[in-house]
Amino acid sequence: MGKDFITGQIKTVAGNVAQVSTVWSSNDVWSTIKVRWSIGRMDYKVKQGLYAVGNPDENSNIFVSANFKLSFDHLRRALHKMNAWILVLDTKGVNVWCAAGKGTFGTKELVYRIKAHELEKIVSHRKIIVPQLGATGVSAHEVKNKTGFHVIYGPVRADDIKAFVDSGFKATPEMRKVKFPLKERAKLIPVELTYGKYYLLFIPALFFILSGLNIHGYSIDLAWENGGKSFINLFSAYFAGCALTPILLPWIPFKRFSLKGLFLGLVIGFILLYFHFLGNNIFEIISWFLITGSISSFLAMNFTGSSTFTSLSGVQKEMKLSLPLQIIAASIGLVGWIFTRFI
């Protein structure tokens, strides 16, 4: 990965520290777009350690981040025109909140980095600003006990950092809240769409091949005709679960994500029915409804992982019922659909 965000070196009592830009280069913008599409996302890292923004000294604030480059980029951009230190923890290339949930953005790593980079020599104060969402992995009182550094939890969003610092480290209730507006949900759609990976080829291919079956044996013409319709049906259901559910999340009835997905899967089913994509006989139509409903429901349920408000207990409760039903419905649908090849 390019290191064009490094603009120079700053000498400190604890050695040289890389100075970084607070402006995104076209390279940063382009790689951000790619990473939102899951391209190279598993290795989108910056090196852990200490960085400088502007010309910080012993009185400057220290901000903590993860070594997922997207997290780091948002932080350095938010520190525009400030003099500050950035301490990047080794979170294996995972963002702050997820890494905090796993514990890699945690007390142990933070304590280790504070000591390893000799922060007590670099700054004269004893404050360190940790993003609020890091609190899932960091125990402020333990860090204080082990290093003498007082953890101040900053705002949830990097964009609020300037206001937070200017107000003397006071976060408004708004800054402390995790919201999930349309814009943030929309950003997640590309990653959701890539979720299916090779199944996106394999399952439609399977339907395509099976589409040629009929009572007289096998027909390539039939495969083309019905296989094409199957593609549309399958991708519509996939799109309903992966893209429409995130976008329409607050407006779809039901609390359970699986029901939200089922609802949209059935709506899509009716649209496809209207355009004669579901076939001609009642068995085939019912089979397709079972398939589109279960696909959309399953994928919508998966979006719980990307959402910002679902609890483990809640998702477990939801899945206990939904997952078996999705599997049963999809299986009956598939068997039913194969069966209708022969009538």
Partner 1 sequence: MNRFVYLKNVVTLELDWQKCNGCKMCTIVCPHEVFVVKDKKAIIRNRDYCMECGACEKNCPEGAISVRSGVGCAAGIINGLLKGTEPSCDCSSSKDKCC
Return residues touching partner 1 (CB under 8 A).
36, 38, 41-42, 92-95, 97-102, 132-133, 135-141, 153, 156, 171, 173, 176-181, 188, 191, 195, 249-250, 255-257, 301-302, 304-319, 323
For 149, which DSSP code? P
Question: Nearer Cβ to partner 1, position 37 or 339?
Answer: 37
Instruction: Work out the burial of residue 13: count CB atoms within 10 Å of its CB; fewer than 13 is exposed, 13-18 middle, 19 or more buried.
Output: exposed
Say whether 298 sits in a helix, a strand or coil. Answer: helix
Minimum CB–partner distance for residue 333 and partner 1 (Å):
20
**Residue appearing with tokens 């993003």:** 131
In whole angstroms, the minimum distance from the beta carbon of 192 to partner 1 comes to 9
Q: Which residue has the tokens 């200490």?
A: 50
CB of 178 to partner 1, least distance (A): 4
Closest distance between partner 1 and the C-beta of residue 128, in Å?
14
Shortest Cβ 4–partner 1 spacing (Å): 24
> CA 305, CA 292: separation in Å to the nearest integer?
21
Smallest gap, in angstroms, from Cβ of residue 3 to partner 1?
A: 22
Which of residues 96 and 122 has its CB atom nearest to partner 1 in the complex? 96
267 or 323, CB closer to partner 1? 323
Closer by beta carbon to partner 1, 121 or else 176: 176
Q: What is the DSSP string of 185-241?
A: HHHHHHHHHGGGTTHHHHHHHHHHHHHTEETTEE-HHHHHHHHHHHHHHHHHHHHII
- Both ends of the chain: CA-CA distance in Å? 57
Nearer to partner 1, 99 or 234 (CB): 99
The C-alpha atoms of residue 110 and residue 88 are separated, in whole angstroms, by: 9
Q: Closer to partner 1 at the Cβ: 88 or 315?
A: 315
CB 105 within 8 A of CB 137: yes
